[in-house]
Structure 1
């Protein structure tokens, strides 16, 4: 394994945003994002508005827009992330800053669907998670779907193609601090402080925020055949991902 740099660096500021944009995310593009897109395609109206809550540098939103034919409404708490997102030049996309947990520029019920990818990992407690879910709930029209992508702390200590969640032999409880290591495109590893949110806890918090959880799924490499990009799916053996799939796709509906 390449040597990790000393210390930890948050995704804040210009350098943090660029560091996030340089994350490899190979595992996510196999058993994560393609399954988010599939769930959205199955539950969203064609040509509708897709809220990407915590859009980061906009790469996933750009893929979603082109694959689903939806108009992107991206929001993020980092101005520097939004600068990078706008540089994607995603057709029809608009981006807004989240301040104190709210995207105040956006009206209620402005989105036909929402996705929220790896945002929960940065949230330290139930009230903060409920705040995010509450703002997504406000922005969605009634009956609209929300698709969440999260890491499962049950896979702690396993080295996957592009991430390692937690430490070997440790059981993590909801909101507990948990170090995550992410492989960069140059082969080095980025170490980040995150928080554990097991699937059962996520489902319970969604219900408290006014959503109904309709499905939770751990996608596997075998299931990625026909869902993920074929060249990417055949680029390696994905041994760890086969042993214990690390990601969870949760689909919920605004009640």
Structure 2
């Protein structure tokens, strides 16, 4: 493991590196579909949306502007939250997750929660269930949960801004894999992650108190209708067309 990989996103330097991830594939096939699911769930300026694992707050801010909702960002990293607070975004407030709990947020405070690329940092089923349980605590009954994750079934494919795992490898739940992400300076950041195949999401969500679980693998042709037009026209997206790498899962708190 290289020093760059070992550092991952920890500490101030790691937080700054994460903030400079290009994320082109995510902005084509991921985040627009998360926002679409939230809008379809009628999340608007009357509602509270929590971004669990908000990082530097970029996606949370976009959701606040797009949906008009009161957005609250939470994260386990003080450095990420410091970057988010300093960015002057449209996010209403930020909270640190300590001991698995979002500090300062009461039970049932959220109408919806989105969780983008958090599963990859979780090494065990118990850790995944713990995050899902905290999301369930934050949600009111029948509140909407939207989960975005990479699909390890697409291991080894070179996408516009990422590669998940190694070519030819098959990854089971919790298996270690390396994700490569393109940074704005043209270099690639390697990060040790964990595989959570799409098929394991629904049963774990149901164990954590969710129902009405639906999964969707967004495709490029769909994305051309809802993603940023300049981004959509910026490249042919050949790999993304051949093997869409992301999965969006929605569920309702029981």
What interval of TM-score do these two structures reach, taking the shorter chain for normalisation?
Answer: over 0.9
Cα distance, 1:202 vs structure 2: 1.0
Cα distance, 1:205 vs structure 2: 0.6
**Residue 198 (structure 2) aligns with:** 199
**Residue 174 (structure 1) aligns with:** 173
**Residue 92 (structure 2) aligns with:** 93
CA deviation vs aligned residue, 1:85-138 (integer Å, no higher than 9, x gap): 112323351000000111131100001101000000000000000000000000
Distance (Å, rounded) in 2 between the aligned partners of 1:158 and 1:219: 16
Q: 1:77 to 1:7 in 2, by over 3 A?
A: closer
**Which one has a larger percent strand, Structure 1 or Structure 2?**
2
Cα distance, 1:7 vs structure 2: 4.3
**Residue 153 (structure 2) aligns with:** 154
RMSD of equivalent CA atoms: 1.3
**Which one has a larger percent helix, Structure 1 or Structure 2?**
2
Q: 1:233 to 1:108 in 2, by over 3 A?
A: same
Q: 1:82 to 1:233 in 2, by over 3 A?
A: same
Q: What does 1:24-173 correspond to in 2, within 5 Å?
A: 24-47=22-45, 48-91=47-90, 93-173=92-172
**Residue 12 (structure 2) aligns with:** 14
Secondary structure of 2:105's match? coil
Secondary structure of 1:44's match? coil
Distance (Å, rounded) in 2 between the aligned partners of 1:5 and 1:105: 36
Cα distance, 1:220 vs structure 2: 1.0
Cα distance, 1:9 vs structure 2: 2.1
Distance (Å, rounded) in 2 between the aligned partners of 1:184 and 1:157: 18
Distance (Å, rounded) in 2 between the aligned partners of 1:221 and 1:46: 26
Distance (Å, rounded) in 2 between the aligned partners of 1:79 and 1:149: 22
| Total equivalences in the alignment | 252
CA deviation vs aligned residue, 1:11-39 (integer Å, no higher than 9, x gap): 11110100000111000000000000000
TM-score after normalising by structure 2: 0.96
Secondary structure of 1:112's match? strand
CA deviation vs aligned residue, 1:205-255 (integer Å, no higher than 9, x gap): 101000114311111111112210011001000000000000000011101
Q: 1:17 to 1:7 in 2, by over 3 A?
A: closer
